[in-house]
Amino acid sequence: PVSVGMSLDIASIDTISEINMVLQWWTDERLCFDGSKSLSLDGRLVEMLWVPDTFIADSKKSFLHDITVDNCLIRIYPNGTVLCALRITTTVACSMGLTKYPMDKQTCTLQLESCK
């Protein structure tokens, strides 16, 4: 059996409705290799790897950036850990209670999920 754990970091949020960079980390034991340095791969090779199907809950509109090729960086570490950096722009729904406006404080959550 393959053991896969995943974590996800948001590198930055430019405005209240956009995510600029999403970093995903997971470990795939099948990708372990001897060495001390990581391997950087072209985003076009992502099709050859298992990648979590991350989605943004409550997303109204999202897209991955692609210029000439998909804007994705893949880095594989000797222990099988994979880093996948993506540029995503998204608009997310956020319910707000404005009954105390302008003396209120709003909290919107950004929920990222994956179906393994």
Residues 72 and 43: their CA atoms lie apart, in Å, by 5
Per residue in 55-78, pLDDT (tens digit) is 777 777 765 666 665 567 889 999
Question: Looking at residue 75, which CATH number applies to its domain?
Answer: 2.70.170.10
Determine, yes or no, domain membership for 46.
yes
What is the span of the domain harbouring residue 34?
Answer: 4-92
Name residue 95's amino acid. Answer: S
Position 31 scores a pLDDT of 92
In this structure, is residue 76 part of a structural domain?
yes
111 vs 4, more confident: 111
Beta bridge partners of 88: 64
Residue 65 lies in a domain: yes
pLDDT at position 4: 54
Please count the structural domains in the chain. Answer: 1
Residue 108 lies in a domain: no
**Residue 78 in domain:** yes
φ and ψ at 30, to 5 degrees? Answer: -70, -15
Give the confidence band of 37 by pLDDT, cuts at 50, 70, 90. very high
Q: Alpha-carbon distance 86 to 54, whole Å? A: 11
In a domain, 48, yes or no: yes
